[in-house]
């Protein structure tokens, strides 16, 4: 939002935070790493228990220690192998990650050739390979690990055991499928969250911009109906006083005094803008009828008489927004009468009904053709400003006029009853 508006206070920046899925992934990673060392130790213990005096024992012990050391170094120093998330689908692995995994697999394969019982370490290596490499590279690696594990188990069995032939590939297929599906779901979830965050931010920015534009439009209407109209009236009165200064000094002085009164009222409105933008005429008590009388008194000139009639009493709980809108509409309508109608009499009629409040502004001026006046208003900003105010309150505007027959403007605003 470019400016300050009520929407801004309700819009907060949205940030993506790690969800429970990240903690679950870390827990699974810890379990798999622990399982690798448990299986490695169990395989070494089994080998030593059966072949402690064998010629390959020193090599088996050394290779087991090397494999454990390489795995620890990878877990601590290779990105994507430790508790951090695996790489995203379609992302190429780094050379460091690939080299580390290749060395680990090579040492493990040599161990399996020398001691087939180490084939059990293939299960956690499945997970490590799937997390370290993208699916296109991880699936062939899992197939290779599975083939080595099956070959090692067959050498121990001594015959083509169907369980040995089918169980490891089935386990590898299930593990690979589950991991790939979970990774893709996680990627889609992350993309959805990112899209949601971006949409929320764009929506917040749009709401802020709309709030700023609405506030600017409201201020423009307030200034037009008060300060701008007051300045226009002052200019007209002072111009008239200048023309009559030599020939009719008393009338000229009356014009100057009236202009000074309007200037004082405009100054009060300007000060009111600084505080809360409530019309100054409504701040002194007496409600809307008294404020309309004050507006009519200021709008009256030697050439124009403005009267006020009230039919019924306004509700005691008349919303401030309705009071302010009707007062501003009266000010704008009378300004149009002064500037365009060339009228001698204007009347403000406030009618208070059960379900709505109606303000009529009539004059005996020159009139105009409403059908020939665009909605944007070639006559100025008065009618568009009135329509804009009424749209916010659900009100209606009716204009009846004809050339030479004066103008009647009727505004109706519905009232909510509880």
Structure tokens at 122: 């293939």
Phi, psi of 310 (to 5 degrees): -125, 125
Q: Name residues whose C-beta falls within 8 Å of residue 291's C-beta, 6 or more positions apart in sequence.
A: 279, 281, 282, 323, 327
Q: What is the DSSP string of 89-151?
A: TTPPPPHHHHHHHHHHHHHHHHHHHH-GGGGGGHHHHHHHHHHHS-HHHHHHHHHHHHHHHHH
Neighbouring-strand partners of residue 402: none
The pTM assigned to this predicted structure is 0.41
Q: Tokens standing for 151?
A: 């070959």
Distance between first and last Cα of the chain: 36
In the block, which residue shows the tokens 């506030």? 215
- β-strand 305-311 against 356-363: which pairing, if any? unpaired
pLDDT per residue as tens digits for the range 83-102: 443 444 445 667 887 888 88
Here the tokens at position 243 are 């023309």
pLDDT digit string, tens, across residues 250-298: 888 888 888 888 888 777 777 666 555 556 677 666 788 888 998 898 8
Can you tell me the distance from the alpha carbon of 182 to that of 308, in angstroms, rounded to the nearest whole number?
Answer: 76
Structure tokens, 239: 């111009």
User: 265-287 as b/e, with b when 16 or more CB fall inside 10 Å?
Assistant: bbeebeebeeeeeebbbbeeeee
Residue position matching structure tokens 């009639």:
309
Confidence of residue 62 (pLDDT cuts 50, 70, 90): very high
Q: What is the pLDDT of residues 376-407, one digit of tens each?
A: 444 445 678 788 888 888 999 999 999 988 99
Name all domains of the chain by residue range, CATH numbers in brackets: 20-198 (no CATH), 286-418 (3.30.565.10)
Q: How many other C-beta atoms are found inside a 10 Å radius of the C-beta of residue 98? A: 15
Q: Are strands 305-311 and 345-352 parallel, antiparallel or unpaired?
A: parallel
Report the pLDDT value the prediction gives residue 208, as an integer from 0 to 100.
Answer: 79
């Amino acid at each position: 939002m470019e400016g300050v508006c009520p929407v801004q206070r309700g819009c907060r920046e949205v940030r993506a935070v790690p969800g429970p899925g990240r903690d679950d992934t870390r827990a699974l990673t810890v379990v798999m790493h622990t399982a690798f060392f448990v299986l490695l130790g169990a395989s070494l213990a089994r080998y030593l228990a059966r072949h402690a005096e064998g010629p390959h024992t020193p090599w088996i012990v050394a290779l087991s220690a090397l494999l454990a050391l390489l795995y620890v170094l990878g877990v601590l120093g290779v990105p994507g192998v430790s508790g951090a998330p695996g790489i995203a689908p379609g992302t190429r692995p780094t050379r460091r990650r690939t080299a580390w995994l290749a060395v680990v697999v090579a040492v493990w394969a040599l161990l399996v050739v020398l001691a087939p019982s180490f084939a059990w370490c293939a299960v956690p290596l499945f997970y490590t390979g799937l997390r370290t490499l993208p699916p296109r590279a991880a699936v062939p690696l899992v197939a290779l690990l599975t083939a080595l594990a099956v070959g090692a188990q067959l050498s121990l069995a001594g015959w083509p055991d169907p369980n040995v032939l089918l169980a490891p590939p089935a386990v590898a297929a299930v593990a690979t499928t589950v991991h790939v599906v979970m990774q893709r779901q996680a990627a889609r979830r992350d993309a959805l969250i990112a899209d949601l965050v971006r949409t929320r931010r764009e929506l917040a920015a749009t709401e802020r911009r709309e709030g700023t534009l609405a506030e600017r439009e409201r201020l423009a209407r307030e200034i037009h109906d008060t300060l701008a109209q007051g300045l226009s009236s002052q200019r007209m009165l002072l111009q008239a006083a200048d023309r009559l200064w030599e020939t009719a000094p008393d009338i000229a002085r009356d014009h100057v005094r009236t202009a000074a009164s309007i200037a004082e009222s405009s100054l009060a409105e300007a000060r009111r803008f600084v505080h809360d933008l409530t019309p100054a005429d409504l701040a002194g008590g007496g409600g809307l009828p008294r404020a309309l009388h004050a507006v009519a008194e200021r709008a009256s000139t030697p050439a124009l008489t403005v009267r006020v009639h009230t039919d019924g009493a306004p509700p005691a709980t008349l919303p401030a927004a309705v009071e302010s809108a009707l007062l501003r509409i009266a000010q704008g309508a009378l300004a149009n009468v002064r500037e365009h109608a060339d009228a001698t009499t204007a009347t403000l009629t406030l009618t208070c009904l059960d379900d709505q409040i109606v303000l009529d502004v009539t004059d005996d001026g020159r009139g105009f053709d409403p059908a020939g006046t665009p909605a944007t208003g070639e006559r100025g900003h008065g009618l568009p400003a009135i329509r804009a105010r009424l749209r916010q309150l659900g009100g209606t505007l009716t204009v009846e006029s004809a050339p030479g027959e004066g103008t009647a403007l009727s505004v109706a605003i519905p009232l909510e009853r509880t």
